[in-house]
Amino acid sequence: MPGKKEIITLLEDIADLLEYNGENPFKVNAFRNGANAIRRSEIEINKIVKEKALDKIKGIGKGLQSVIYEFYETGNSSAYDELKRVVPEGINDLLKIRGLGSKKIKILYTELGISNVGELEYACKENRLALLKGFGEASQNKIIAEIEKQKTYSKYILLNTADTLSEEILEKISKFNTLSKIVHTGELRRGMEVISEIAFVVFVPDKKKFLAELKETFAFEERDDIVTLKNGYPVPIVFFIVIKEDEFCKKLFLTTGSKEFIAKLNAGAGIKCAGNEHEIFKNIDFSFVIPEMREKEYFEQKKSKLKENSDLSIDHFKGLLHFHTTYSDAGNSLKEMITDAQKEGFEYAAVCDHSKSAVYANGLSEGRVLLQKQEITKIASSYKLHIFQGIESDILQTGDLDYSTDFLGNFDFVAASIHSRFNMEEAEMTKRLIKAVENPYTDLLGHPSGRLLLSRDPYKFDVKKVIDACSANSVAIEINANPHRLDLDWRWIFYAREKDCLFSINPDAHSVEDISYIKYGILTARKGGVKNSEVINCFSLENFKKFLNRKVKRSV
DNA sequence: GCCGTTTTCGGCCCGACTGTTTTCAGTCG
């Protein structure tokens, strides 16, 4: 029976094909909105489909309901099948190439018979695109570059995707009778921002029996003591098998650290342990390093402060900062977000919806900011948690924020972020960011590099100079925990900490569910050795207020 | 196709950028 994931995929695929077919763009959007509505819905989808109560979800009207009900009952969708009949296969992949939309793809198909990425690449190399009307040499080169990028991207998945997938496999496999112990290792244990391999160390007393049991659930290949699952996974799923319990921790140690880290440790014969990894570090006379920090960058740090282990954990978090609501482009209302934040144990929260120039995200005009303020005042007394009104204010091309200085005084907390004009020259972009950081109202520099992992490169700017400015103006640097961003990149955290910067780890949540992204931000921060004393979200309410009040002094 | 409603049809995100063109279409955030 199809689940939530399958329904979302179906609706999005239908939207793509409708768009290719030149359907009314609003109809196309209705399918995309529907997919998003289901993605963001907290209601258990299986249950309401059975009860035929899908109309409870806003954005799912009669048309989408019938598609979903049919899909549930028959496992098929006649609407989708009909579209697939008239639209060439491979179009979905072509739509993923930046710069190619449905119109251009249609030209490529009708003029050159191109219906998949392979054919497109070949046509570019044959110089056939450059000769096509509406295209040119520049477009052709751009497409070639995009295809190359996608080839690299396709070797990786985002951290949250890997996390979910690894949990699914772990759940299945931990029921095995022949298995004594299993722990994840490698990139996932180190909390890398993107993952090329999901790996586990497994201890099985009887390997033969284990493989026989594994065979009942998974198809796999075996080489030496490494088992790799086959079939349909986006990245390799690997099990390192040990058959003696005292080999377990050694294998875990060797497979966790990056190759460079392990090589530099030069552990040699010291790698022996019966208990846990602390023993190995002790044997080689090296102070223990947490899994996340076992990277080559560890050895590049000169200052001893930067080599200390991070003590950061979710238990230290008191403030939920930078999340969105239905006032701008999120799926849940202010009340819903705040209620959940309180349930999760946060002591204070700062809503940061999009600002007025973010028109595409329904950003808040001055009037709507004041309406939100009224609502906050109205509901404040019904929560134990303290609510601050923040804003994610767009940094304009000039480096100004998009509200007047007078008006910015209305907010308790100001996050400044770039959402447009990414293609500026490095020097100009650096100036723009520094000006925003120097604004006396700015408390936080949001997703500093603007990157979207496996999708969009960061914009060009002098990272050190911008970090220096944050340090000089006591502006916190965001470690955006959304798995698409994980920005600031952890490799820059060391420099920022050298400059005594403060950090803010934020889910950038667009729904109640997204609040859990914080854990990926914590992993990222831990990679840079961040201490909880350096994170404003970990401040007590009183100290967070003090942090906010520093701007009064700044503006005087 | 969905929503909201002056309940039956009009409005739905719009402006900047890019590469093409020679004044604009297509794509993106």
CATH number at residue A431: 3.20.20.140
Is A403 within a domain? yes
Residue A16 and residue A66 share a domain: yes
Percent of chain A surpassing pLDDT 70: 98
Residue A144 and residue A70 share a domain: yes
Residue A136 and residue A233 share a domain: no
Q: Which nucleotide is nearest to A362 (CA to C1')?
A: B13
Residue A521 and residue A378 share a domain: yes
Is A459 within a domain? yes
3-state secondary structure of A312: coil
Res. A452: pLDDT tops 50? yes
From the CA of A173, how many Å to the C1' of B6? 61
Beta bridge partners of A345: none
CATH number at residue A75: 1.10.150.110
Residue A186 and residue A121 share a domain: no
Residue A205 and residue A185 share a domain: yes
Is A346 within a domain? yes
List the one residue out of A188, A181, A197, A100 whose CA is nearest residue A140: A100
Is A195 within a domain? yes
* Identity of the residue numbered A74: T
Residue A471 and residue A409 share a domain: yes
pLDDT tens-digit readout, A466-477: 999 999 999 999
From the CA of A77, how many Å to the C1' of B9? 29
Q: Which nucleotide is nearest to A95 (CA to C1')?
A: B27
pLDDT bin (cut points 50, 70, 90) of residue A270 is low
CATH number at residue A188: 3.30.460.10
Residue A68 and residue A25 share a domain: yes
Q: Which nucleotide is nearest to A418 (CA to C1')?
A: B29
Which of A64-68, A95-99, A132-136, A271-275 shows the lowest per-residue confidence on average (mean pLDDT)?
A: A271-275
From the CA of A49, how many Å to the C1' of B11? 30
Q: Are A34 and A40 in contact (CB under 8 A)?
A: no
Residue with CA nearest to B28's C1' atom: A99
Residue A167 and residue A264 share a domain: yes
Residue with CA nearest to B25's C1' atom: A134
Is A307 within a domain? no
Average pLDDT over residues A517-539: 98
Domain boundary, last residue among A277, A300, A323: A300
Q: What local confidence, expressed as pLDDT, does residue A556 receive? A: 42
From the CA of A111, how many Å to the C1' of B22? 24
* Helices A102-112, A117-125: crossing angle, 10 deg rounding: 70
The overall average pLDDT reported for chain A is 91
Residue A334 and residue A273 share a domain: no
List the one residue out of A112, A115, A104 whose CA is nearest residue A131: A112
From the CA of A99, how many Å to the C1' of B18? 9
Residue with CA nearest to B21's C1' atom: A134
- As a whole number of angstroms, the distance between CA A244 and CA A518 comes to 37
Is A306 within a domain? no
Please indicate, yes or no, whether the overall pTM of this predicted structure exceeds 0.85. Answer: yes
Residue A165 and residue A117 share a domain: no
Comparing A159 with A139, the larger pLDDT belongs to A159
From the CA of A421, how many Å to the C1' of B25? 20
Q: What local confidence, expressed as pLDDT, does residue A91 receive? A: 84
Domain that holds residue A376: 314-555
Chain B nucleotides close to protein (CB under 7 A) are 1-4, 11-21, 25-29
Domain boundary, last residue among A153, A182, A213: A153
Domain boundary, last residue among A269, A300, A331: A300
From the CA of A195, how many Å to the C1' of B3? 41
pLDDT tens-digit readout, A156-183: 999 999 999 999 999 999 999 999 999 9
List the one residue out of A326, A371, A376, A368 whose CA is nearest residue A348: A376
Q: Which nucleotide is nearest to A33 (CA to C1')?
A: B2
Q: Which nucleotide is nearest to A359 (CA to C1')?
A: B13
From the CA of A515, how many Å to the C1' of B28? 27
From the CA of A132, how many Å to the C1' of B18? 17
The footprint of strand B (CB < 7 Å) covers A 24, 26-27, 29-31, 33-34, 58-65, 97-105, 130, 133-140, 142, 359-362, 397, 419-421, 423, 456
Indicate the DSSP class of residue A328: T
Q: Which nucleotide is nearest to A132 (CA to C1')?
A: B20
From the CA of A67, how many Å to the C1' of B13? 27
Residue A397 and residue A357 share a domain: yes
pLDDT tens-digit readout, A171-215: 999 999 999 999 999 999 999 999 999 999 999 999 999 999 999
A72-111 burial: b if 16+ Cβ within 10 Å, else e: beeeebebbeebeeebeebbeebbebeebebebbbebbeb
Count how many domains chain A has.
3
